[in-house]
Amino acid sequence: MNRSMGKGRTRNDGSQVAKNKKATIKRLWYYLSYYKSRLIIGIVLTVLSNALSLIGPYLTGQMINEMTVVNDGFAIDFNKIFILASLMISFYLVSAVMNYILSVALVKMSQSVVYKLRSDLFNKMTSVHVNYFDSNQTGDIISRMSYDIDTIATSISSDVLSMITSTITLVVSFVMMIIVSPLLLAIYFITIPLSFLITSLLSKVIKKKLRIRNQQLGVMNGYAEEMISAQKTIQSYVQEEVIYQKFDQHNKDAAKKSYEAGYYYTTTGPSVNFINNFGTALVGTAGAILAVFGGIKIGDLSAFMLYSKRFSGPINQLSNLIADIQSALAAAERIFYVLDQEDEQQNITDAKTKGINRGFVEFNDVSFGYTKDKIILKNVSFMAKPGQKIAIVGATGAGKTTLVNLLMRFYEIDSGNILVDDIPITDYDRKYYRKAFSMVLQDTWLFKGTVLDNIKYGNENVTFEDVVEAAKKARIHHYISGLPDGYDTFLSDDGVNISKGQKQLIVIARAILSRSQMLILDEATSNVDTYTEVNIQEAMMTLMENKTTFVIAHRLSTIKNADLILLMSHGNIIEQGSHNQLMEQKGEYYNLFMSQFS
C-alpha cells in the first residue's frame, strides 16, 4: 500500500486534483443522473416557458405595425390589437407558471443532490485512511462539508436554471433577429465576439482566484477551529493577543483573496454591459436611418431592439453565471479531492471474523515508515503473552504511538509480521479485529448525550444492569447516582460539564463493558488530584484483569509491576524485560528511571 504523503500532507486545498473542468462536470453529472428524469422534465419546461416569453417582442412589433398613418393620423384595427395583446398576456402567464414549477423542482433536486453528496463525503470520513486526518485540519474538512457543498447547492438550484434560460434566450433571440432584419443583425454582430472573448478570458482568471480563495478560507477555518478548542490553554498562557494577531493575518489573507476573486467577478458584468450598450446604440442609429428610407417598419425595428436587449442581457448574465459556476466547480474539486483519498486497505477474501480468544501478540521483525524515505520503526520484535501487562516507554518521538497505531491496524506495516493468537492480523476482518481491543487514552472522548449512552457506546445491545456493573467496577457509579438525572443526565459537548477525572472513569466503564481480549492504555492521571488518581488506578487495575494490556507509560513509577517493559529509542526497542531485570542491567532504562527521582 502506498502511504506517500506527498499530496495529502503538503497541500490542503484540493488543488492536487487535476483542474479539469470537464472531468469535474462529469462527476457532478453522476450525482445529477440520479434525478435524470426530473432534469429532463425541467429542461423541457425551461424551453417551453422561455419560448413563450420570447414571443412577446414579436407580438409587440406586430401591434405597432398595425398602426398605419392615414391623413396625418393613425388607423388602428383594435380587434387585431386586442387579439395580439391577449395572446401576449396568455403566453407570459403560462411562462410564469412554468418557471415557478421549474424553480421549485430544481430547488428540491439540488437539495437531493446535496444530501447524497454530503452523505458520501461523511461516509468517506468513516473509511478514509487515518493519514488524511493526520495531515488535514478539522476546520478545513468541515469547511468542505458546509461551505463548499452549499456553494454547489446554490449553483444547481439557481445557476443551472439561469444558464439554461440564458442559452435559450440567446438562441431564440438570435433566430428572431435574423427573421426580422438580417442587415441590422450584421451590424449588431460586430460587438458579440468581443463580449464572448472578454467573458471567456475573465472566467479563467476567476476560477483560479476562487480556488485560491477557497483554499485560504479552509486554512482560516482550520485555525479558528483549533484555537476555539484550545481556549483554556490560550487563556492560561495569556496568548489571546498572539492568537488574535495570527487569526487577523489569516483573516486578512482570506479577505484579500476574496477581494481579488470578487474584483474580477464584478468587472466582468460592467465590461460586457458596456459592449452590449454600444451595440444597441449602433443598431438604433442604423435602424432609424433604415426606417426613414423605408428599409424597415417601425414595429419590426421595435421588435428587433427588444430582441437585441433580450440577447445582450444573457451575455451579461452569463458572464456572472460563469463566475458562479467556476466557484461551484472549484468547490466541487475540493470535495472530490477528499472523495478520492485513499481508503483503508480492504480486507482479504474470507477474512476471519473469529479466532481471537487469548490475546497472544507477537511482533516479528516489524519495520514501518509513514513515508518510504523515512522509516520510523526498525526491526521491532517482542512477544506479549495472554493476560500480560506490556509497558511501552521512551522519549517523545521514540515510536511508542506508532507501535500502537500498527497494533490497531491504523497503518499497515512495511515488512515483518504481527500475529495475534498465532494468526497474522491482516488475515482478520478489520472491524472484528479492532473490536478485540479497548482503548483508554489520555485525551478522553465523550459525545453529546446521556451518561448511559456514552458508557454504552459501541455496545448498544447491553442491558442497563450491565452498564451499572461496569460503572461500579470503574468506581464511577456513586458519582453518577448523585447526578440530577442519574444515568440519564445529559452531557454537553465532549463532557465539558464534568471533571477530567470523571470523564476518564466513564471512558474506563465503557472499556470494561466491551469485554475485549486486549487493552491499550495511555496513562491519564497526571492532571488529576490524588484521590481521583487512586480511583482511576484502581479502575484500571479492574479493567486490566485477564486482558493483554499495552500501556504507554509516561511515569515509570507506575509500571514497575509490568510483566514486560519495552524501552524505545528512535524507532528501536533498545531494552526489554521486567523492571527488576532492566534495573539490574543498569542501562538506559536504569538511567531514565533514576532521573525521574533526581
Q: Report the range out of 6-10, 120-124, 268-272 with the highest average pLDDT.
A: 120-124
Joined grid coordinates for residue 596? 525521574
Q: Which of 539, 463, 542 is nearest to 506 (CA)?
A: 539
Helix axes 55-65, 36-53, angle to 10 degrees: 10
Joined grid coordinates for residue 254? 482570506
Summarize pLDDT for 502-560 with one digit per residue, the tens.
Answer: 888 888 888 888 878 898 887 655 555 566 667 777 788 888 888 899 988 877 777 88
Residue 318's CATH number: 1.20.1560.10
Please indicate, yes or no, whether residues 128 and 246 belong to a single structural domain of this protein: yes
Q: How far apart are the C-alpha atoms of 73 and 50, rounded to whole Å?
A: 37
Q: Give the number of domains in the chain.
A: 2
Q: Which of 339, 285, 5 is nearest to 149 (CA)?
A: 339
pLDDT at residue 68, rounded to an integer: 54
Q: Which of 99, 21, 69, 66 is nearest to 336 (CA)?
A: 21
Provide mean pLDDT across the span 4-10: 34
Q: How far apart are the C-alpha atoms of 207 and 21, rounded to whole Å?
A: 10
**DSSP annotation of 96:** H
Summarize pLDDT for 447-501 with one digit per residue, the tens.
Answer: 888 899 889 888 878 899 999 998 988 888 988 998 888 999 888 765 556 777 8
Which of 233-237, 272-276, 432-436 is least confident? 233-237
Q: Is residue 195 in a domain? A: yes
Please indicate, yes or no, whether residues 452 and 333 belong to a single structural domain of this protein: no
**Cβ 98 vs Cβ 48: under 8 Å:** yes
Residue 505's CATH number: 3.40.50.300
**DSSP annotation of 158:** I
pLDDT at residue 14, rounded to an integer: 37
Over 50: is that where the pLDDT of 329 sits?
Answer: yes
Q: How far apart are the C-alpha atoms of 414 and 411, rounded to whole Å?
A: 9
Summarize pLDDT for 415-424 with one digit per residue, the tens.
Answer: 999 999 999 9
Q: How far apart are the C-alpha atoms of 207 and 323, rounded to whole Å?
A: 7
Query: Which residues 6+ apart lie within 8 Å of 72 measured at CB?
Result: none
Over 80: is that where the pLDDT of 594 sits?
Answer: yes
pLDDT at residue 417, rounded to an integer: 93
The more confidently predicted of residues 527 and 91 is 91
Over 70: is that where the pLDDT of 315 sits?
Answer: no
Look up cell 388602428; give the residue.
76
Four-residue CA torsion sign, 146, 152, 157, 162: positive
Q: Is residue 556 in a domain? A: no
pLDDT at residue 92, rounded to an integer: 82
pLDDT at residue 530, rounded to an integer: 62
Q: Write phi, then psi, for 579 (nearest 5 degrees).
A: -60, -45
Please indicate, yes or no, whether residues 314 and 450 belong to a single structural domain of this protein: no
The percentage of the chain sitting over the pLDDT mark of 90, rounded to a whole number, equals: 12
Tell me the one-letter amino acid at 278.
F
Q: Is residue 39 in a domain? A: no
Q: How far apart are the C-alpha atoms of 66 and 75, rounded to whole Å?
A: 8
Which of 62-66, 388-392, 562-566 is least confident? 62-66
Q: Report the range out of 67-76, 105-114, 402-411 with the highest average pLDDT.
A: 402-411
Q: What pTM value is reported for the model?
A: 0.62
Q: How many CB atoms lie within 10 A of CB 422?
A: 9
- DSSP states along 25-43: HHHHHHHHGGGHHHHHHHH
Helix axes 298-339, 78-127, angle to 10 degrees: 10
The percentage of the chain sitting over the pLDDT mark of 70, rounded to a whole number, equals: 89
pLDDT at residue 76, rounded to an integer: 65
Summarize pLDDT for 129-164 with one digit per residue, the tens.
Answer: 877 877 777 777 777 877 788 888 777 777 777 777
Mark which of 297, 322, 339 sits at the end of a domain. Answer: 339
Show the 3-state SS of 293-359: CCCCCHHHHHHHHHHHHHHHHHHHHHHHHHHHHHHHHHHHHHHHHHHCCCECCCCCCCCECCCCCCC
Q: How many CB atoms lie within 10 A of CB 593?
A: 19
pLDDT at residue 18, rounded to an integer: 33
**Cβ 318 vs Cβ 166: under 8 Å:** yes
Q: How far apart are the C-alpha atoms of 137 and 219, rounded to whole Å?
A: 8
Q: How far apart are the C-alpha atoms of 594 and 586, rounded to whole Å?
A: 10
Which of 9-23, 38-52, 179-193, 450-464 is least confident? 9-23
12 band by pLDDT with thresholds 50, 70 and 90: very low
Q: Is residue 105 in a domain? A: no
Alpha helices by DSSP H, 128-181: 130-135, 138-143, 149-154, 160-180
The more confidently predicted of residues 381 and 596 is 381
Provide mean pLDDT across the span 402-412: 89
Q: Is residue 252 in a domain? A: yes
Mark which of 487, 515, 543 sits at the end of a domain. Answer: 515
Q: Which of 449, 444, 441 is nearest to 493 (CA)?
A: 449
Q: Write phi, then psi, for 295 (nearest 5 degrees).
A: -80, -15
Q: Is residue 536 in a domain? A: no
The boundaries of the domain holding residue 245 are 22-34+111-159+180-339
Q: Which of 279, 280, 317 is nearest to 302 (CA)?
A: 280
pLDDT at residue 367, rounded to an integer: 92
Q: Is residue 364 in a domain? A: no
Look up cell 495475534; give the residue.
420
Q: How far apart are the C-alpha atoms of 105 and 290, rounded to whole Å?
A: 46
Please indicate, yes or no, whether residues 470 and 326 belong to a single structural domain of this protein: no
Q: Which of 201, 210, 199 is nearest to 317 (CA)?
A: 199
3 band by pLDDT with thresholds 50, 70 and 90: very low
Mark which of 470, 485, 515 sits at the end of a domain. Answer: 515
Please indicate, yes or no, whether residues 319 and 457 belong to a single structural domain of this protein: no
Show the 3-state SS of 479-491: HHHCCCCHHHCEE
Please indicate, yes or no, whether residues 197 and 329 belong to a single structural domain of this protein: yes
Mean confidence (pLDDT) of the chain: 80
Q: Write phi, then psi, for 345 (nearest 5 degrees).
A: -55, 135
Please indicate, yes or no, whether residues 151 and 295 belong to a single structural domain of this protein: yes
Summarize pLDDT for 342-360 with one digit per residue, the tens.
Answer: 887 888 888 898 888 889 9
Q: Is residue 313 in a domain? A: yes
Which of 41-45, 343-347, 520-524, 577-581 is least confident? 520-524
Please indicate, yes or no, whether residues 328 and 450 belong to a single structural domain of this protein: no
Query: Which residues 6+ apart lie within 8 Å of 263 measured at CB?
Result: none
